[in-house]
Amino acid sequence: MSDNPFGSDITSEDILEDLEFFDDWEDRYRYIIDLGKKLPPMPAELKTDDNFVHGCQSQVWISADYDASQDQMCFLVDSDAHIVRGLAAMVMAAFNQQSPQAVLDFDMDAYFARSQLIQHLSPTRGNGLKSMVAKIRGAAQSHLEST
């Protein structure tokens, strides 16, 4: 998963700083969609029921892996909707390549509040975003409980 720039080359702080440059939400949405285009592809064999995110308006899959040598969670994500891929990329910037404890400790509510994202999404998109975060945190929690 070394070709995944999210969490290393593209961080949550980078995204927040970039979003501040845009004056209107149309430009911000375009930026978010462009972020989604930078996600590495998810192999079809990972698009399973176990990786499917329930509660999303669109189809979303998240695959979680743990790299013991780096003590970090590695995620792949895909969606059939461009804006959702972009939203998932924002989440990946916060969680990918972080330790399981860092995933659990990250203040996602503050991140979303600072980006002003939630108030500009439909309620179903906002719920889907929260479902993605819950699935990722669940994977981190499961890993911690298994060690």
CB 111 within 8 A of CB 136: no
Identify whether 74 is a catalytic site residue.
no
Task: Quote the tokens at residue 53.
Answer: 């995110």
Catalytic residue, candidates 32, 53, 56, 94? 56
- CA–CA separation, 105 vs 63, rounded Å? 20
Give the orientation angle of helix 25-36 with respect to helix 82-95, to 10 degrees: 70
DSSP 48: S
Catalytic residues: 56
